[in-house]
Each structure stands twice: as structure tokens, then as C-alpha cells.
Amino acid sequence: MSASLTDAELAHAIVRAPEDAKLFEEAFLRFYRPMVAAATVIFGGRLGLAEDIAQETLLRVLTPKVLRRLREPSALRQVLVQATRRGAMSAARAFSRHEALLARNDPMPSSASSNELPDVWLDVEEALAALRDEEREVLNLRYFEGLQLTEIAARLHLTYSAAAQRVSRALVHLRNSVRKKT
């Protein structure tokens, strides 16, 4: 159907009929691979994360509101690839910041003697039980199952940033609760 459409014609067609799944599918087939390739380079070969960023970018850019603002609809491919690169760079920066933050927030005190450890863990268990289910779930995935933030995001159907925020918030709540008990 739309294989003969230029990028500009495809952009205009999506503006006119945003609920037409065939147009979105055509855009997906046409632009997805170069977008994933651009994000994969930034993420050092992490394909799953690159695919997530490319999908989010497609959903964000292929809307009538955004497509109407394009000065050059014929440059849709370049716009999508550039937006994917920017999203990937932003996510990569957030990823490294959150990984560094989480590395500093080791939940087990290293100075605790072997006699104090059971009491500390009892406090941690009580604090974990007091957390909301979503907070307990992300801490379980992160620290007991050993998942990376990208894997947590995928498993919970969240963006990387949302997963990182949940883990950070849960750690703060857990830490505050344990401090109150000790």
C-alpha cells in the first residue's frame, strides 16, 4: 500500500489518519532498524535497551501533533534517528548516574560485626515488610535476583528512568525506616 509513499507523504498520511495501523506499521518497518542501530552504538551493543528507546521514540514522534511541526517532512528518517540518539544518550547518562548512586547505597553496613548482623537484618526485614508492594518488588528484583535496571524496566514494563526512580525511592524509604529502628 504505502511502499510507494515518500517519507513526507507518509508523515502527512499519519497526520490525516493517525489511527490507521497500516501507516504506523509502514513507518515502523521503514524506520525502526536505523533507529535501533543508532541507539545500539550508544549503548555499547545492548540491543534490548536500544529497542526500548527506539520504540519510545517512534511512539513519541509519530503523532499528528509532532509531525505537523516538522519543517521538512521528507527528513522524517533523520529526525527519528536523531531523536533516538538523543534519547539513548540521555538514558545512558541516567543509567550511569543511577548505577553509581546504587553502588554507593550498599544496604548492608560493612562495619557491622558478626554479632550485630542478625539484629541489623531483622531491622531490614521489618523495614522491607513495611514498604509498599511496588517498592519491595523492585528491591527484590535488584538486590535478591541481581537484575540490572534495564532488566527491571523490561520486566515491569517501565522506562529505564521510571525503574531507576522506583529503586532509588525504595532504597531511601528502606534506609529511613532502618535508621528509625536503630
Instruction: Provide the residue-wise pLDDT of the chain in tens; the chain has 182 residues.
Output: 445 889 899 999 999 988 888 998 898 889 988 888 888 888 777 788 888 888 888 888 888 888 888 888 888 888 899 988 888 888 877 777 766 666 666 554 444 444 444 566 667 778 888 889 888 888 888 877 788 888 888 899 988 888 888 888 888 888 888 778 76
> What does the pLDDT read at residue 102?
65
- Looking at the fold, whether 11 and 71 belong to one and the same domain comes out as yes
Q: At what angle are helices 76-104 and 149-156 packed, to 10 degrees?
A: 120
Asked if residue 24 belongs to a domain, the reply is yes
- Looking at the fold, whether 14 and 92 belong to one and the same domain comes out as yes
- Looking at the fold, whether 122 and 164 belong to one and the same domain comes out as yes
Read off the C-alpha cell for 22: 497500516
Query: Residue 53 sits in which domain range?
Result: 7-96
- Looking at the fold, whether 20 and 84 belong to one and the same domain comes out as yes
Task: Single out the residue of 56, 48, 65, 58 nearest to residue 26, CA to CA.
Answer: 58
> What does the pLDDT read at residue 107?
53
| Residue 40 near residue 47 (C-beta atoms within 8 A) | yes
pTM greater than 0.75 (yes/no):
no
- Looking at the fold, whether 113 and 177 belong to one and the same domain comes out as yes
> What does the pLDDT read at residue 104?
65
Task: Single out the residue of 145, 167, 52, 170 nearest to residue 99, CA to CA.
Answer: 167
> 51: part of which helix (H) or strand (E)?
helix 47-61
- Looking at the fold, whether 57 and 113 belong to one and the same domain comes out as no
How far apart are the two ends of the chain, measured CA to CA in Å?
A: 68
Asked if residue 59 belongs to a domain, the reply is yes
Where on the phi/psi map is residue 50: left (φ > 0), alpha (ψ -120 to 50), or beta? alpha
> What does the pLDDT read at residue 13?
92
Asked if residue 91 belongs to a domain, the reply is yes
SS3 of 147, please? coil
Asked if residue 1 belongs to a domain, the reply is no
| Residue 40 near residue 50 (C-beta atoms within 8 A) | yes
> What does the pLDDT read at residue 113?
46
- Looking at the fold, whether 170 and 117 belong to one and the same domain comes out as yes
Q: Please provide residue 108's backbone torsions phi and psi, each rounded to the nearest 5 degrees.
A: -100, 120
